[in-house]
Amino acid sequence: MTIDELTRQIEEAERLLAVYRSADEVIVGTKDQIYSRRGLINQITLTADEIGAHVVAALEQRLAAMRTELQKLGVEYQERSR
């Protein structure tokens, strides 16, 4: 993965964190190779109280791992101000 690709993924993860932190509901579903053209299947809607913190924690872990990878490439990432 290039530095530019990794930087774009970090920016997207930061954007998603803001979205999930303020979400009222989260739709969760599965994606099956056979049915992938139909989008998500087996969907459920959960309230932010039920799952929001889990999604945010997962995104924070992913973001930390991507920032670490970027540092290994010799780049110090500065979060953009919103």
User: pLDDT digit string (tens) for 1-33?
Assistant: 889 999 999 999 999 999 999 999 999 988 877
Structure tokens at 80: 């953009």
Q: Which residue has the higher pLDDT, 36 or 75?
A: 75
C-alpha 12/C-alpha 37 separation (Å) is 24
Residue listed under structure tokens 């969907």? 43
N- to C-terminal Cα separation, the chain = 26
Residue listed under structure tokens 């509901």? 25
Query: What global pTM score does this model have?
Result: 0.78
DSSP E strands in 15-67: the ranges are: 25-30, 41-47
